[in-house]
Structure formats: C-alpha cells, structure tokens
Amino acid sequence: MQSYLQMQHIMQQIYKELHYDGIKPVIATNGRRFRKSSVPKDKDYSKRWAVERLFSRIKEVFGLAKNRFIDIGKVMVHAYACLIAYILKYR
C-alpha cells in the first residue's frame, strides 16, 4: 500500500503531464492545498457544483445509483425518467 506522500507525488506528476499536453482539470483547484478559498479561480465552478448537487440528489432519492442496465439506451431512459421525476417533485 502506498503512503499518502507517494500518492500525492504521483498525482502531481499526472497533473504536470496533463498540463504539458494542454489538458485542463475539470474542477478548479484553489492553489492553497488544504485551505479552502472563498473565491474559486474558475468562473464556471458554481455551475458545475450545481450539476453535481443535482446528480447527487437524483442518485440518492430517485435511485439513479442503482442502475442495473447494460445498454446505453436503457441507461439514458432511466436517467431521463429520474430527471423528469425530479422536475415534477421539486419545481
């Protein structure tokens, strides 16, 4: 089992390689390591956070996490049904 410092070093290497290839991370980092920043660097951070909250609630309340379908079409139908149920219940 790798220690926390080894894992952190590996993650920094991966980040540097992705940055070198021009790939940006999806979730903005605040640059302060473990301290939270009141102002994120990314202007779209709040939009992504809202989407994550929505999917978290759909997974918990409407059973999207218990998806047992193999076909992508069936998964999409289940996801759309969960979204419709969310809209009907909370809007």
Q: Tally Cβ neighbours within 10 Å of residue 15.
A: 13
Give me the residue label for tokens 């999917």: 55
Count of structural domains, the chain = 1
> Per the domain annotation, does 35 fall within a domain?
no
User: Which residues constitute the domain of residue 80?
Assistant: 4-28+43-90
Q: Are 27 and 48 in contact (CB under 8 A)?
A: yes
pLDDT digits (tens, 9 = 90+) for 42-90: 777 777 888 888 888 888 888 888 778 788 888 888 888 888 988 888 7
Q: Is 37 within the bounds of a domain?
A: no
DSSP letter assigned to residue 35: S
Q: Which two tokens stand for residue 78?
A: 């289940």
**Cβ pair 63, 56 in contact under 8 A:** no
Residue 61 and residue 64: Cα distance in Å, rounded? Answer: 8
* Structure confidence by residue, pLDDT tens digits, 15-41: 788 777 777 666 555 555 444 556 666
State residue 27's pLDDT score: 58
In a domain, 34, yes or no: no
Per the document, the length of the chain is: 91
Asked if residue 84 belongs to a domain, the reply is yes
